[in-house]
Structure 1
Amino acid sequence: MENQTKIAVVTGGSRGLGKDMAINIAKKGIDVILTYNNNKEEAQKVVKQIEEIGQKAVALQLNVAEIKSFDSFTENVKTALKNHFNSSKIDFLINNAGIGIHTAFTQTTEEQFDILSTIHLKGVVFLTQKMLLIMNDGGGVVNISSGLTRIALAGYSIYATMKGAIETLTKYQAKELGERKIRVNVVAPGAIETDFGNGTVRDNADVNAFIAANTALGRVGLPDDIGSVVAFLCTQDAKWVNAQRIEVSGGQMI
């Protein structure tokens, strides 16, 4: 008999927001397959934390910019499902992995544009296609966007444009996957203290103070402000939440 515990795939789950998402999902009684790009050691630490919570977890290598690797990654997921979870299907996909490039619109290079579009848009499209082949009906997809699709801060034009595309894509995915009872939603974090974008929000006191002063709840976001919302979307409590953009920003720039 197959494992009845639900299973979530979290891309970029070894650090930052993805790590917190993976841990919070585990706290909901869901097993986790998390991906890492380079840092296997950090990923294994997250696996250990999830196991300490009482759930199963495994870390798999994935570079979301390498579209041609998605077939072999899917086979690795299938193997992990069989060997670690006694299952053949996943239930949730969290498209979290990404990078930030901060540059003025007029200074943006074609190379920068291509890497942002590959990681944040093309990679999400084609990885989701692959994962849907091994996703149970009644599952869910959570795409990660950004508060920068609503708030224009100079230097993020291309990054935010890709995230805007993801928000549109999410609605179409929800529409077309509805017949499989698969829900698709977007979580859009505000400014968060992580190492994302070279840790600017966390490490630059002026940036941190500026954001805090322009946020209704009076502080910058922390990783654990986001993970619990993503985890909620992977539960039955969110069964009627579909095609939504949920901004988690403490009321930034309202």
Structure 2
Amino acid sequence: MTQSKIALVTGGSRGLGKDMAIKLAQKGIDVIITYSTKKAEADIVVDEIKKIGQKATSIQLNITETNTFDNFFNNVKNELVTKFNAEKIDFLINNAGIGIYNNFSTTTEEQFDELLKIQFKGPFFLTQKALEFINDGGGIVNISTGLTRFAFAGYSAYASMKGAIETLTKYQAKEFGDRKIRVNVVAPGAIETDFGGGVVRDNTDLNNHISSITALGRVGLADDIGGVVAFLCTEDAKWINAQRIEVSGGVLI
């Protein structure tokens, strides 16, 4: 029996991360998810993955605390040995994040620093630590946003950090190429989740506005995103590298 590939999804206990984890499992990939504080939610996702027939576990991670990453990967190593009969993962999905809505003129240094740690510094150094745990021929998917292509007022700091992630992705693809590790970006459009306080889901006017400027006539759902991430972790995507794939239904085209 061949060993299933293994994916590590940060922020996999809810929203987009949860859907990514489920879709990866449906592709026959085992999954490790991280959660920040809500272990019960993570356990539910783990149970769902096991029902699909794949192995799964959850590990606590605060993406802002880079000084904990060594300990985190010690936990990953232990879980790999005890629950997956493996030594390394194959895919890293840098999904964990938050959204802060504030106009440029009123964005505080505290908000800027928080976004920097969560959206850029954290994934940068987590990926650096992860490299020794990723099999050659594996892959990394960084999650960005449609807001790096089009602009909505109030997201200048958030989108700037994601723009940095998109540039970083190209450099990672270049530098990891000798190990045949592919690195790509998935950039969701506006999605109905609790992200950013659930503003797209709960604000009817905003929901209607986004639907009106989207070619497919609606806002996105979590279910629209996970399958694209899972596809990038399959052999069908073996020649896709250093690409930005926007999954937005055609916003502002």
Structure 2 partner of 1:169: 168
Counterpart of 1:166 in structure 2: which amino acid? I
Q: Distance in 2 between matches of 1:166 and 1:176?
A: 15
Root mean square deviation of aligned Cα:
0.9
Structure 1 unpaired stretches of 5+: none
Structure 2 partner of 1:191: 190
Structure 2 partner of 1:22: 21
* Runs of 4+ with >4 A deviation: none
Structure 2 partner of 1:59: 58
Structure 1 partner of 2:230: 231
Shift of 1:98: 0.1
Shift of 1:85: 0.2
Counterpart of 2:144 in structure 1: which amino acid? S
The 5-angstrom pairing of residues 119-134 of structure 1 reads: 119-134=118-133
Aligned residues: 253
Identity %: 71
Q: Distance in 2 between matches of 1:138 and 1:28?
A: 17
Structure 2 unpaired stretches of 5+: none
Shift of 1:121: 0.5
Counterpart of 1:50 in structure 2: which amino acid? I
- Which SS does the other structure have where 1:252 is aligned? coil
Are positions 1:222 and 2:221 aligned together? yes
Structure 2 partner of 1:148: 147
Q: Distance in 1 between matches of 2:98 and 2:184?
A: 20
Structure 2 partner of 1:33: 32
Structure 2 partner of 1:247: 246
Are positions 1:4 and 2:6 aligned together? no
- TM-score, normalisation: structure 1: 0.99
The 5-angstrom pairing of residues 65-104 of structure 1 reads: 65-104=64-103
Shift of 1:4: 1.7
Counterpart of 2:241 in structure 1: which amino acid? N
Shift of 1:41: 0.3
- Which SS does the other structure have where 2:217 is aligned? coil
Q: Distance in 1 between matches of 2:148 and 2:26?
A: 30
Q: Distance in 1 between matches of 2:193 and 2:242?
A: 27
Are positions 1:112 and 2:111 aligned together? yes
Shift of 1:211: 0.2
